[in-house]
């Protein structure tokens, strides 16, 4: 059996999700006449206690739209050096919005309120870009699925308020964070101006992300989505999959987290592994020993039809997800134990 742990984006719709898609009521979403899209947007807006929400084809477009809504060309946003909006969105911050990034050396992709305050450019110093936005990511992708301490988020919110800055959350895997913390979606809705949430990772939908936010920002979202090419027609088939995922797949993410933790224990005992980063959710990052051959390690896995991601320099990544079954998990654990 093939075990694909490169990402949680590789999941395929379950029979129940396919049934929801096939029976979805649809219309033209560019005219805002798709009932399934409208239902999804209302549901997520209510879930987060936000004013409104807008469905996008991809997470990158959702984040890029938020950045464009919050900023003007020539301005600057603050983010961690691992931020997805900087590393994995094709340079869209500069291309789409004409904005630069001031990167902070945080901890596993997470930054503090003190760091944010320290990196705000003086607004009256016209030689430097005007700081206008702070972007956080929760959970952190490159940081190994780490979850922010919500108390720190609230401190950053105050810094943003005190300095007139927008506050956006790349919440692609926020669903995972909410499973392992005591926070609710409404807590996040109260803390941020805009939030992007992904439907095609742990929730298992084939596509789609949603931008949710305060109305004064969301009033601009429809036009920005159009400019970025994100207007879609009878997309309710896909939106129904996202709604099904929220209703049926969200809480079961705890299984993904448990399996990631068990893999972490097994890898810590593996002779080729030097270090395994702490595991909080479904992403596991580990480093091989300097004398271990990374290519050989990966090829041994491939020989067992086990596929993971190489991040370079002996750093590897595993992401557990809905399609990673218990049978697959036990097979992988046995392989690591006997390697």
Helices (H), the chain: 15-22, 35-48, 59-70, 84-87, 92-97, 113-118, 150-163, 174-180, 185-191, 215-218, 221-227, 236-248, 253-268, 294-303, 326-338
Look up residue 193 and give its two tokens.
């101006």
Q: pLDDT at residue 339 above 80?
A: no
Q: pLDDT at residue 100 above 90?
A: yes
The predicted pLDDT at position 147 comes to 98
- How far is the CA of 66 from the CAs of 61, 148, 330, 334, in angstroms? 9, 20, 41, 44
Residue 202: closest CA among 250, 148, 139, 247 = 250
Question: What CATH number is given to the structural domain containing 28?
Answer: 3.40.640.10
Same domain membership, residue 196 and residue 328: no
Could you tell me the end-to-end alpha-carbon distance of the chain, in angstroms, rounded to an integer?
A: 18
Q: What's the average model confidence in pLDDT over 130-158? A: 98
273-276 sheet: strands from edge to edge: 273-276, 283-288, 315-319, 309-312
The predicted pLDDT at position 246 comes to 98
Per-residue pLDDT reduced to its tens digit, 235-261:
999 999 999 999 999 999 999 999 999
The predicted pLDDT at position 228 comes to 97
HSE, side-chain direction, 13 A CA sphere, residue 7? 12
Per-residue pLDDT reduced to its tens digit, 110-138:
999 999 999 999 999 999 999 999 999 99
The predicted pLDDT at position 182 comes to 85
- Sort strands 76-80 and 52-56 into parallel, antiparallel or unpaired: unpaired
Same domain membership, residue 276 and residue 235: no
Same domain membership, residue 282 and residue 174: no
Domain residues for the domain of 294 are 3-8+252-338
Q: pLDDT at residue 199 above 80?
A: yes
Residues facing 209 on adjacent strands: 56, 198
Per-residue pLDDT reduced to its tens digit, 46-84:
999 999 999 999 999 999 999 999 999 999 999 999 999
Q: CA 20 to CA 238: how far, in whole Å?
A: 9
Q: Count the neighbouring beta carbons within 10 Å of the beta carbon of residue 108.
A: 18
Give the domain-ending residue among 248, 264, 290.
248
Same domain membership, residue 123 and residue 54: yes
Same domain membership, residue 313 and residue 223: no
Per-residue pLDDT reduced to its tens digit, 287-305:
999 999 999 999 999 999 9
Percent of the chain with pLDDT over 70: 100
């Amino acid at each position: 059996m093939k075990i694909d742990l490169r990402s949680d984006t590789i999941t395929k719709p379950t029979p129940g999700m396919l049934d929801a898609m096939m029976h979805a009521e649809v219309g033209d979403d560019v005219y805002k006449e798709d009932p399934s899209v409208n239902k999804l947007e209302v549901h997520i807006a209510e879930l987060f206690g936000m004013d409104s929400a807008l469905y996008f084809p991809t997470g990158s477009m959702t984040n890029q739209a938020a950045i464009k809504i919050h900023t003007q060309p020539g301005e600057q946003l603050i983010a961690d050096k691992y931020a997805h909006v900087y590393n994995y969105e094709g340079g869209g911050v500069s291309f789409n919005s004409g904005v630069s990034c001031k990167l902070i050396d945080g901890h596993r992709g997470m930054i503090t309120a003190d760091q944010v305050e320290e990196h705000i450019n003086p607004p009256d110093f016209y030689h430097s870009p005007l700081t206008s936005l702070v972007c956080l990511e929760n959970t952190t992708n490159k940081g190994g699925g780490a979850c922010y301490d919500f108390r720190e988020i609230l401190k950053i919110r105050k810094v943003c308020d005190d300095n007139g800055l927008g506050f956006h959350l790349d919440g692609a895997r926020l669903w995972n964070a909410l499973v392992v913390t005591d926070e609710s979606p409404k807590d996040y809705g109260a803390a941020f101006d805009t939030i992007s949430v992904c439907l095609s990772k742990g929730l298992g939908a084939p596509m789609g992300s949603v931008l949710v936010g305060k109305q004064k920002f969301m009033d601009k979202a429809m036009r920005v989505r159009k400019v970025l090419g994100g207007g879609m027609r009878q997309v309710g088939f896909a939106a129904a999959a996202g709604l099904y995922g929220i209703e049926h797949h969200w809480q079961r993410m705890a299984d993904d987290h448990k399996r990631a933790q068990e893999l972490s224990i097994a890898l810590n005992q593996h002779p080729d592994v030097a270090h395994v980063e702490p595991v909080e959710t479904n992403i596991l990052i580990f480093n091989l020993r300097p004398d271990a051959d990374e290519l050989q390690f990966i090829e041994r896995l491939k020989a067992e039809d086990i596929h993971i991601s190489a991040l370079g320099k002996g750093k590897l990544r595993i992401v557990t997800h809905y399609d990673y079954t218990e049978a697959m998990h036990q097979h992988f654990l046995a392989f690591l134990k006997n390697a």
